[in-house]
Amino acid sequence: MKPFSALALLFLLAGIALLAEPALANKFETISGGINGSFQLKRAFVQQALLVGGAGCLIGAVLAVVVPHTNPVFLNYANWRNSAIVLGILGSLLLVSYFLV
C-alpha cells in the first residue's frame, strides 16, 4: 500500500466518523446522564457492529477461496491466499470479541 493511499484512507475514515457521529448522538450517554438504559443500548450497538463485521470478514474469506482465480484482472488473482488468511483472522477476532462483550 502506497503512503498516499494509506493517508487518503485515513482521511476517508475520519470523515466517515465525523459524518456518522451526529446520527448516533442520541444512542449514547450525554453529559447530564443520558437516557435510562443507555448502557444496554451501547452494548447492543457494539455487539451488533462486531457481529456484522465478523460475519462480513468471514464471508469475504470464504469468497476469496471459492471465487475462481483464472482471470488476471481480478484483484485476488495472485494474493487470494493472503486475503483469505487475513480476513479469516480478523473475522474470528471480531466474533470472539462479540461473545466477550
What is the Cα–Cα distance from 77 to 16, expressed in whole angstroms?
A: 30
pTM reported for the whole predicted model: 0.59
Would you state the torsion angle of the CA atoms of residues 39, 42, 48, 54, taken in this order, to the nearest 10 degrees?
A: -110
Sorted by where each begins, the domain ranges of the chain are 30-100
pLDDT, greater one: 10 or 84 = 84
For the stretch 58-74, pLDDT in tens is 999 998 888 877 777 77
Angle at 92 between CA 25 and CA 88, to 5 degrees: 115
Confidence tier at 98 by pLDDT (50, 70, 90) = very high
How many other β-carbons are positioned within 10 Å of the β-carbon of residue 2?
Answer: 7
Q: Which grid cell is 11?
A: 482521511
What's the confidence (pLDDT) of residue 4?
A: 58
> What is Dmax (Cα atoms) for the chain?
59
Confidence tier at 1 by pLDDT (50, 70, 90) = very low
Confidence tier at 91 by pLDDT (50, 70, 90) = very high
What's the confidence (pLDDT) of residue 23?
A: 56
What is the Cα–Cα distance from 16 to 11, expressed in whole angstroms?
A: 9
For the stretch 8-54, pLDDT in tens is 777 777 777 666 655 555 555 555 554 455 777 778 888 999 999 99
**Per-residue 3-state assignment (H helix, E strand, C coil) for 19-62:** HHHHHHHHHCCCCCCCCCCHHHHHHHHHHHHHHHHHHHHHHHHH
